[in-house]
Amino acid sequence: MSSKKIAIIGGGNLGSAIAEGLLKSGFSKAADITITKRNTATLGRLKDQGVNIEADNGKAVAWADIVLIALKPYNVKEVLAGLKPLFKPGQVLISVVTGILIDDLEKIVGGDMPLVRAMPNTAIAIGESMTCICHKFASEEQVQFVESMFNQLGVTVSIDEKLMDAATVLGACGIAYALRFIRANIQGGIEIGFDVRTANLIAAQTVKGAAELLIREKRHPEEEIDKVTTPKGCTIAGLNEMEHQGLQFIAH
C-alpha cells in the first residue's frame, strides 16, 4: 500500500473512477486520497468511504505528493495557472486530460516539475483499463510509482508521446470498435435463434475469452484462429465472408 498523498483535481467520471480503483485495489488508503469538485455533493459515495472531499483545488495541491489532473481540456490552463504558486519540489503532476501535451503542461507550470501524461480508456471504471503513459523530468522511481498506480486500474505501458494519438485510436477508440463487433455478433445470434440476453452473454464472454487467450498466452491472433479453423468448416466460411465484406488482416 502506498503512503503517498494523491490529489485528484476534477471529480468527474474519470477522476472518481481512479479514486475508486485505488481504494478497491488497496493501493491507497482513503485518508491518502483527496478529490476535488465544485459540487462536492455528487461525491457522497467516496466521502462515505473516507476519501477527503474538497472544493478548493489549492488546499488539495498543497497537501499532496502526487497531483492528478482530471479536468476538461478547456479548463486545464486556467486551473493549473492558478495552482502554479502552490506546487512544491518533489511533487509529480499527472494529466489524464485528452489532447493536452507534456509541452503544454510545461509551459503552464514552468520549471522542471516531473510531468506524466496518462491515457486510460473507459474500462478504468471496472479496473480493466489499457493506460498508455509518457513523461518528462520524472525519475525512474517516480515513473515506476505512476505505472504501479495505473496498474491497479488495469494494464499500463510506457510509450513515446508521438504515439499518443495512435494509442488513443487503438486503446480508447478501440473500445467502441470492439463493442460494435460484439453488437454485430449479438444481432447475428438473435437471427439464428437466441434471445437477446443469451446472445449478449455468449458474444461478450467469447470476446473476453479471446482477449484473455492472447494476453495470458502471449500469442498472435492467427495462432488461435488456426486452432478453430477446420477444413470445410463454418469458421473458415465466416472468416472468408468477413474478409469479403472488408474486415481483414493486413500484413505489413
Q: Which three cell numbers stand for residue 166?
A: 495512435
Model confidence at 252, pLDDT cuts 50, 70, 90, reads very low
Q: What are phi and psi of 53, to 5 degrees?
A: -110, 130
| Number of helical (H) and strand (E) elements in the chain, helices listed first | 11, 8
Residue 208 confidence (pLDDT): 95
154, 120 contact by CB (below 8 A): yes
Q: Which three cell numbers stand for residue 188?
A: 447475428
Structural domains of the chain sorted by starting position, each given as residue range(s) with its CATH number in brackets: 6-159 (3.40.50.720), 173-244 (1.10.3730.10)
Q: Which three cell numbers stand for residue 172?
A: 480508447
pLDDT of 3 over the 90 cut: no
CA 60/CA 56 separation, integer angstroms:
7
Residue 80 confidence (pLDDT): 96
SS3 154: strand
pLDDT in tens, 173-187: 999 999 999 999 999
Residue 202 confidence (pLDDT): 97
Residue 115 confidence (pLDDT): 98
Locate all alpha helices (DSSP H) within the chain, ordered by sequence.
13-24, 44-48, 57-63, 73-83, 102-109, 140-151, 164-167, 173-191, 196-217, 221-227, 234-244
Task: For helices 196-217 and 173-191, give the axis angle rounded to 10 degrees.
Answer: 130
Rounded to a whole number, what is the distance in angstroms from the first to the last CA of the chain?
Answer: 44
